[in-house]
Amino acid sequence: MTRSIPDVPRPLIECVPNVSEGRDRALIERFAATLGGKPGVTLMNVHADPDHHRSVFSFLGPLAAVEAAALALADRVLEAIDLRTHHGIHPRIGALDVLPFVPVAELSMAETVEVARRVGRTIAARHRLPVYYYGQAAIGPGRRRLPDARRGGYEGLAERLRGADPPDDGPGRFDPRAGAVLVGARDILVAFNVWLDGSDLDAARAIARAVRESSGGLAGVQAIGLWLASRGIAQVSMNLLDYRATPIPVAFDRVKDEAGRRGIGVRRSELVGVAPRAAFRGRSPASVGLPDFTFDLLLDSYLEPASGQ
């Protein structure tokens, strides 16, 4: 069934919070209920991973509704998660690790930045936490890229706050329970992972180096090699920052080719959240390792007119 929202007032904004909890199913469901229970908000997807120990929530709606939902989720997450007992393979700096806002329909990036900074100021004041802005919301160029904004991670946050890198909003104090929050404004990002058919972590890291833009690979691609202990396999985890420059098929084919050169097969792929139809550039989801892909994983399905169902 098409889960479209054609009658929702424009402009529309998407929010994709990444939360440092991927194992407690009941807690993740409570977070989801916090979002899904807000009037005007459409919760498109919840993706939880126990190895990353991280959940990604994708929701959209009108500006006021999304702001209210983001702040309600922040309240629930910061009350429930204690980073002192958190251990996962994904880099993180806070319980509510990243909170990016994305313009979807009839909204400028400048307006999206205003939303991000308004929400960031509220979180900083309400919870007395350091907030850093990244992406288009970054105060200066040094925090434009998410890896730079997260520099040092949670483990290095106390020293960072004592040094010459104060937060953009909130107190420069280290809260060992909650860490810091990274609030951003960005374009549509496609989070796409490829599971290798084997346990060679060194190979996964080498493939990631070959694929990511920073080491001469594909335009707009960030990639790291990770070990998924619960599955006994290695993974190439990617962010496609510009799916127009590097769509999903190009990233998948490059990983598959690099793996083949090392005598390694590809087991399957994984989409984290939703993606626009254009990101597939005419290829079927099955051809890029997504055999169980469903229509509700397309961003377009929430924006197109209903089909009379």
Could you tell me if 158 and 283 lie in one domain?
no
Return the CATH number at 95. Answer: 3.30.990.10
What CATH number is associated with residue 235?
3.30.70.670
Kindly state whether residues 172 and 290 are assigned to the same domain. no
Last residue of a domain, one of 164, 185, 206: 185
Q: For strand 54-61 and strand 18-19, is the pairing parallel, antiparallel, or unpaired?
A: antiparallel
- Determine the Cα–Cα distance for residues 221 and 151; give it in Å rounded to an integer: 18
- Closest to 272 (Cα-Cα) out of 302, 238, 234: 238
Name the active-site residue from 53, 86, 87, 90. Answer: 90
Residues across the chain:
309
279 plus 256 within the same structural domain = yes
Residue 244 has a pLDDT of 97
* Average pLDDT over every residue of 113-129: 98
What's the pLDDT tens digit per position in 236-295?
Answer: 999 999 999 999 999 999 999 999 999 999 999 999 999 999 999 999 999 999 999 999
pLDDT at 8 over 70: no
Domain assignment of residue 48, given as a range: 12-185
Residues 179 and 242 in one domain: no
- 185/135 Cα distance (integer angstroms): 6
pLDDT greater than 90 at residue 115: yes
- Looking at the chain, the whole-number percentage of residues with pLDDT higher than 70 is 96
Whether 1 shows a pLDDT value over 50: the answer reads no
Residue 309 lies in a domain: no
Domain boundary (169, 185, 201) is at 185
90 is catalytic: yes
Helix/strand/coil for 291: coil
In a shared domain, residues 133 and 194 = no
307 lies in a domain? Answer: no
Does residue 180 sit in the same domain as residue 63? yes
